[in-house]
A and B are shown apart, each in its own frame.
Chain A
């Protein structure tokens, strides 16, 4: 797959998901992913199971994750006992699940089907960062997050 084809598909999926789910704009940027990983991060990860295996990971600096989640979820959730970290992780897991579905819908030939795993979430010290694959960075409300893809599903 051509890098710019994949980049276009990913950019469209991220933009569409943040716009429809959160009513905020996600703008592709050329920041280094290392800058994002230099900070504590919330992460969400989802496996691509079929037709080829792969992994998609969303990396969000933790301070940004908590602030963005609060901005998005506060108007929706009036329950008093909310764990901020868990709410942020759940929100980004759902967004990643949606992004992965949109991306795989575009990448999968019409005569094939795709299957996703269940999203996992956590904090950066539990994530194996040795091979992040291809990284795509996005600015949201002036701050940057990263989406990485790796594996045969994206080649």
Chain B
């Protein structure tokens, strides 16, 4: 079963992203949640997942710092990380992709937007 970690300080945002992911192809996935980058990092070190979707602006540890830590870890840097943010700008997006994010999506996210980004990471149908 595919395992997905949602990282956002807003419970509503996590719910919305989860709903969009379920519609986009993750209906059978197991979802985990974290409220900031530090919490997510602590979780991943014990429990690597198949996909991470993270917000950018969060207290304690923001999404960019979290992404940097994930990419710096030999054990975690194979996990695809999608960044979803309201604070989009081309320079920041380029920076995040260079760090290693597999996709950058601007809020409000829709299932169609997510499908394009997560399709390579979905399990084969029937798996």
Residue positions of A touching B, CB distance < 8 A: 16-17, 20-21, 73, 76-77, 87, 90-91, 93-95, 97-98, 100-102, 105, 108, 110, 113-116, 118
Interface centre among B18, B19, B87, B92 (most CB of A within 10 A): B87
Complex CA gap A115/B62 in Å reads 13
Contact B87 A116 (CB under 8 A): yes
Q: Is B44 an interface residue (CB 8 A)?
A: no
Tally of B interface residues using CB under 8 Å: 24
Residues on B with beta carbons closer than 8 Å to the beta carbon of A102:
86, 106-108
Contact B91 A94 (CB under 8 A): no
Residues on B with beta carbons closer than 8 Å to the beta carbon of A16:
108
Residue-wise interface mask of B (80-118) relative to A, using a CB-CB cutoff of 8 A (1 in contact, 0 not): 000001111111100000000000001111100000000
Contact A101 B88 (CB under 8 A): yes
Report the minimal beta-carbon distance from B13 to chain A, rounded to whole angstroms. Answer: 5
Complex CA gap A108/B109 in Å reads 21
Q: Is B72 an interface residue (CB 8 A)?
A: no
Interface centre among A77, A90, A97, A118 (most CB of B within 10 A): A97
Report the minimal beta-carbon distance from B41 to chain A, rounded to whole angstroms. Answer: 20
Contact B19 A17 (CB under 8 A): no
- Closest residue of chain A to B15 (Cβ to Cβ) is A76
Residues on B with beta carbons closer than 8 Å to the beta carbon of A73:
12, 15
Residue-wise interface mask of B (51-69) relative to A, using a CB-CB cutoff of 8 A (1 in contact, 0 not): 0000001010000000000
Contact A76 B110 (CB under 8 A): no
Q: Is B10 an interface residue (CB 8 A)?
A: yes
Contact A17 B11 (CB under 8 A): no
Residues on A with beta carbons closer than 8 Å to the beta carbon of B89:
105, 108, 113-114
Contact A110 B108 (CB under 8 A): no
